[in-house]
Structure 1
Amino acid sequence: MTQEVVEPNPALTGPQAAATRETLEDYTLRFAPRSYRKWGPGVVSISALGGIAYLADFAIGANIGIANGTGNALWGILFFAVVIVLTGYPLAYYAARYNIDLDLITRGSGFGYYGSVLTNVIFASFTFIFFALEGSIMAQGLKLGLGIPLWLGYLVSSVLVIPLVIYGMNTLAKLQVWTTPLWLVMMVLPFLYLLISHPSAVGDFLSYSGGIDAKGGQGVSFAGTMLAAGVCLSLIAQIAEQIDYLRFMPPKTPENNRRWWAAVLTAGPGWVFFGAIKQVVGLFLAVYLILNFADQAGVANQPVEQFLAIYEDFMPHWLALTLAVILVVISQIKINVTNAYSGSLAWTNSFTRVTKTYPGRLVFLVFNVAIAIVLMEADMFSFLNNLLNFYANCGIAWIATVASDIAINKFLLKLSPKQPEFRRGMLYSVNPVGFGSVVIAGGLSIMTYFHVFGDAIQPYSPIVALVLAVVLPPIFAVATKGKYYLRRTDDGIDLPMLDENGNPSDARLMCCVTGIEFERPDMIASAKPGPNGEKQYISSLALSCDKTGEHVLPEQK
């Protein structure tokens, strides 16, 4: 696929010029235009699912099983999967249908133009936490296979990703499509061999009660299940990374209707089925190591050690080690290009909105990777469960709030505008519906996690976050009568926003600031008339960088 290259007006300088270099910026602050979205539903779906090749699921499954036993881990994983599907579907649909990322969806789903900066920081935190986790796993593989010290492995695994992310979706799609078949073969076939050659391992797995000595003696309990689910639910923000791909879906038409829906459901909330399976397999392999290789019990939660043990069962050590390292490197590159890419988008969105200055996505690509390196050097793998449990409360509060606003406030109560709005001037700065819900749900669930309300309720902090995030948005929407969703209902443009099939229109208008034509959903009338008093139009991109505010339309009375 080729990408449309749009060059900025030569007269432009500063943030507007930087932001219009779409070859590198990859539609960071805006709607993804139809002229760029040339991939079919299948390619977008495979590219999005390529990002879940990560091995962190194996480590997460192993950790929650060792801590809580197989029974609690399996129920926790099931709870996690159900929550992900229910909250992920409305978000994935909106992204694919309207071709906007989750930050733009969040703005119009109860947060306001500046209010969603809070959730952008939550998402950016997700990307560097999991970048660090995946990089740690890759560094473990490099140490085992090549003898590279961990500190150097952290650096290599991080810097290696930067060149691959520079050119955005165009390069990432190719990387994900071409590496996925090899990844599947190297991961699935050895596991199937283990099941066939060691059938007793299944019974051992199901009866495992926790602990690296297999003497945990923990039965299934609701508290144990919720502790396991809390760690898994730290992955709830993964839907935002899926959406960074889904926003490039082609228009939905009668001809591609089935393929379109299949791609959205599979690559959207459907990612969790693959993730849940990997978590179960990760625990299975950890139990296999604990019960059969006493000397490796301490590293049973490390994916590279898990796959090395399987490979060694039917091939020489040198070949097993080589393949295990190759698998780890491929898996971690596939996910960390997505973590780095999505993180750069999130930081850039927040910084530009607050400062009206656009330093370029590449600046924040390096910034996000640098934070991840610091986490890796701090040995985050040793306190993984606590870190993920804490983060889960923030992630759940955000994702569940947006899903609640879409499903309940937009479709049931009809208090929230059904068509998403993200443009400056059309939204209030802060909407208490979503912003207030996240602050309360996230705040109370974090307090619960830190035992503020007692030890008995502490394991249920994910439930606190989830219930409050679902219930509060409709309560706030009814209390405010939906007043703070839209600052204006008229964007000053007479052309329809959608085409005959309900897709964003591809009609073009000239931006008075950049001198570039943008598609209709990206445009808004300027408050500043032209030289002869004529109406002018400005892109959401240029409007984001308007420090004077002279182009921002006044509030509609």
Structure 2
Amino acid sequence: MAGRILDWLKREGGEPASPEAEALARLAAARDAAEAANEAKTRFLASVAHEIRSPLNAIYGYAQLIERGEGKDALSAARVIRRSAEHLAHLVEGLLDIAQVEGGAMTLSREAIRFPEFLDQLIAMLDLQAQAKGLALVLERPERLPEFVHADPKRLRQVLINLIANAIKFTDHGSVTLKVDYRNELATFTVIDTGIGIAPEDAERIFAPFERVGSAAAERPGVGLGLAITQALVHIMGGEIRLDSRPGEGSRFTVRLMLSQPLTPPSEPAPEAGAVTGYIGRERWVLLIDDDAAHLAVVRGLLEPLGFQVRTASDGESALAAAAQFQPDLVLCDVALGADNGWEIAAQLRRRHGAALRIVMLSGEVHLVEGDAHDTLILKPFAFDDLLDCVADQLGVEWVRAAGEPRAAAPEAPAAPSLPLVIAPVAAAHCAEIERLVRIGHVRAIEAEIDALAALAPEAVPFAERMRAALDSFDLKALAGLAKMVQADAA
């Protein structure tokens, strides 16, 4: 607009713009910038709702089932709620990562994850959302999927949830399918829906931030940020994403990523310590300060059964009065307290009670740290274990724990059946080839060699089945060991 004003003035007067005209143009430019910034803010706030909808729906749906007593498996529902809440926290962090994506500064983690279990959890998280629309949510995966792969679980989960949730949103009848293939360490994820489809002219625009394509998009929540984030994350992970779609026939999003397998399966984690049941030493007093009654009830419900004496306050005045009355050992103080300021309350508590009082601030705004009256800060949302670790560190208490459940000893593997001497040389040749194929990962050729080994004689079938079981579980180390055993016997 500012440029058009200057052009018009030049055309009309034929002379350079006057200072007044230039000032008017600058004002118009400032107004345009403010309007653009306000529009961007509106789109951003709307995108937050779009991104958190899926895990929030899982939490809300399962919580209602438990409340109404309709959940058949409360423990399973609780796990879905916890995983969804964790993902919700990750998404909030992910929104803050947008700037890092644009600046190319994002880093990825590389963890060994249980691949089949990861996929099952993903489907469980989104199943309620599909059921609410009368859709079938289907997971198609091969039987011989590796148990472990290397990936950034947070980013991979974010990509797949964005695609599946988007498919559910734009599908009114039929199904949404996540098809997974894995070959030569290349994982292919295909999200297939029977929804409204996407016109060819919109296929590129749909990956642009804040784009809403098609008439149906205006009727559904969100502003299209999910696919933009998804494409950026896929590219950062070194993969590719492709869209195949026709209006009225559904869509197919395909993501290809290299997910390598660990050379050896990760060792089982050490048995977890038993649950905390109390602490050793004198009785400790804790003051909780928060204007959210639900938060006070949750933290109080965690600490009181462990033997802490807990008092609560919802504002600065009552908090200071309570602290003067019973002299707490520890204060857990929220930063945002309505009209009151948590930092100022912490400062007053420090002046009145000195350094012996331990003060822990609770906040969702890590960048807003004021003063040095507090001892440490915990970000919301937090895991109970993290809070208990902080309490133990601040008070120097030693936890009393319930006896942990010992892990059951793994059953000893049955000894490999021996092969008849008459077929040993031929069997050794097949096993030498199997050992070679294991090194290059040629699964189909390994299957053929095992079949040939089983066909040598009926007595070879049990041994071949043992090798087939190792292959089916992708225990290539065990498979190579069996092959070496046959060669050693035949030598």
TM-score range, shorter chain: under 0.3
> When you count strand as a share of all residues, which structure comes out higher?
2
> When you count helix as a share of all residues, which structure comes out higher?
1
TM-score, structure 1 as length reference? 0.22
Q: Which has the higher contact order (CA 8 A, sep 6+)?
A: 1
Please say which structure displays the higher CA radius of gyration: 2
